[in-house]
Structure 1
């Protein structure tokens, strides 16, 4: 009985119990977004029911987690000898600037800011549920820049993502609860988000930002070596600057996979 309780408790850690959820404006009123949420809670309910029949609680072993691969345009594989250290859902904004004199110019990316939420156990135990989380999370507003848990889940903060400058995406995985490392990075490779990726918040966006492979720079700690951004949801700007302000932001979510060189 105790192990069954553990299973159900682990699954409930990715369910938001309150019926009053902070939906993005009009997002959950659209059929496509309602289907996203319906699929998520339906899958979660099925797993809770299945968990009650298990004789033992699932083990959150990252050796069981498999990095998603876009079969049409795969990123380079993880370098030999590296092991998975952490998986997080990033929820935040992509930042852009726009020309005010050339309406046909494309917006220029100037980085991103996101809070990272610990999804390692979900990745190792329920990968199909993990795949839904970026798009589901995008349908809920961030209530602050440092929201304590990820709606509609109870995933806790495991770090922060920001740009130290325009060319250095940075990840700080040192928190009060765990010390996983600090990773200034540079882009190693990129691949357009697969066809059919989420358009963006409320279904009114311009598509999902690219998948990335990043490698760490000097100053990285925690033996962190490589970071992958996959299963992106939203974040793309419009194709041109027509009608856009000089600076603007686009909300997004994504999975971030962190790989380390074992000591």
Structure 2
């Protein structure tokens, strides 16, 4: 079995089908949603001239330009999965020191299979990653797909302790890709033009993570790329003792 690399950001071949009507969490932030639907319409038109459905070949997928300052994937690894992550970055504050910056307290996200989408149209997948922040996550979890796309739920992400992000890709009964506890191996600020979050907050940094003991399925590395929102305010002024900031990512 080849050791494997995971990109947290992906799509299903059925992306070309007609999407369901979504519930949108912020009607005044419609640009990203419109961009996704406009691109989807153009890709549907293109698909009609193809001889067959898109092929989910990940061999040609590479890190986006914004990741040039990050460590490259280790030699010999094979890209195994790409997922769009949708969830929250979590923070805590000390009410007695409102001038201090919030402290990171892990993250929670649902992962949706975007491998075919990135392989066939990185542009559309990036637009969907941006639009995903405005879709109702509860609706997507109920439907087991990233509504209004047809990207199936492929995993979950959370922290097992303050320094160990964990990715479980064994949640589907149809196929199991493994689990991977990680530690940070590199980071880079999100590009200056990265989309901001629901309250105008900056995008969280891009990350490279390496496996800790206990990884299964041959998984070795994870990248968090194409982030949207998720950053905490500069200080704890006016913030509760704990709070969440919504984000999406590949």
Normalising by structure 1, what TM-score? 0.85
Shift of 1:205: 3.0
Aligned partner of 1:193 among 190, 195, 211: 190
CA contact (8 A) 1:136 1:152 kept: no
Q: How far apart, in 2, do the equivalents of 1:172 and 1:205 lie?
A: 30
Q: Which one has more relative contact order, counting CA pairs under 8 Å at least 6 apart? A: 2
Structure 1 match to 2:31: 35
> Is 2:61 the partner of 1:65?
yes
CA contact (8 A) 1:137 1:152 kept: no
2:48 corresponds to 1:52? yes
Q: Which entry has the higher C-alpha Rg, 1 or 2? A: 1
Q: Which residue number corresponds to residue 136 of structure 2?
A: 141
Tell me how far apart the structure 2 counterparts of residues 12 and 56 of structure 1 sit (CA, whole Å).
12
Stretches of structure 1 that go unaligned for 5 or more consecutive residues are: 1-8, 256-263
Contact 1:115/1:145, CA 8 A, preserved across alignment: no
Q: Per the alignment, in what secondary structure is the counterpart of residue 237 of structure 1?
A: coil
Aligned-residue offset at 1:11: 3.5
Q: Residue 37 of structure 1: SS of its match in structure 2?
A: helix
- Indicate the residue corresponding to 1:153 in structure 2: 149
SS across alignment from 2:196: coil
1:16-31 alignment runs, 5 A limit: 16-18=19-21, 21-24=22-25, 27-28=26-27, 30=28
SS of corresponding position for 2:128? helix
- Aligned-residue CA RMSD (Å): 1.6
TM-score under structure 2 length normalisation: 0.90
Kept in 2: contact 1:103–1:241 (CA 8 A): yes
Q: 1: CA distance between counterparts of 2:160 and 2:246?
A: 19
Q: Which residue number corresponds to residue 238 of structure 1?
A: 233
Identify unmatched segments of 5+ residues in structure 2.
1-12
1:98 aligns with 2:99: no
What is the CA–CA distance in structure 1 between the aligned matches of 2:231 and 2:136, rounded to whole Å?
Answer: 17
Determine which of 159, 181, 188 is the counterpart of 2:178: 181
Q: What stretches of structure 1 move > 4 A for 4+ residues in a row? A: none
1:12-60 superposed Cα distances (whole Å, 9 cap, x missing partner): 35x5223xx2110xx22x2xx3222222111111111111111232211
Partner of 1:10: 14
Q: Distance in 1 between matches of 2:227 and 2:118?
A: 15
Between the aligned partners of 1:145 and 1:125, the Cα distance in structure 2 is 23
Aligned residues: 236
- Taking the aligned partners of 1:141 and 1:40, their CA distance within structure 2 comes to 15
1:66 Cα deviation after fit? 2.2
* Cα offset, 1:144, TM superposition: 5.9
How far, CA to CA, are the matches of 2:228 and 2:154 in structure 1? 20
Could you report, residue by residue, the CA deviation over 1:115-173 in whole angstroms, capped at 9, with x for unpaired residues? 10000110111111111122100011212694411133111110100000111000000
Q: 2: distance between equivalents of 1:77 and 1:196?
A: 22
Contact 2:54–2:116, Cα closer than 8 Å, also in 1 = no
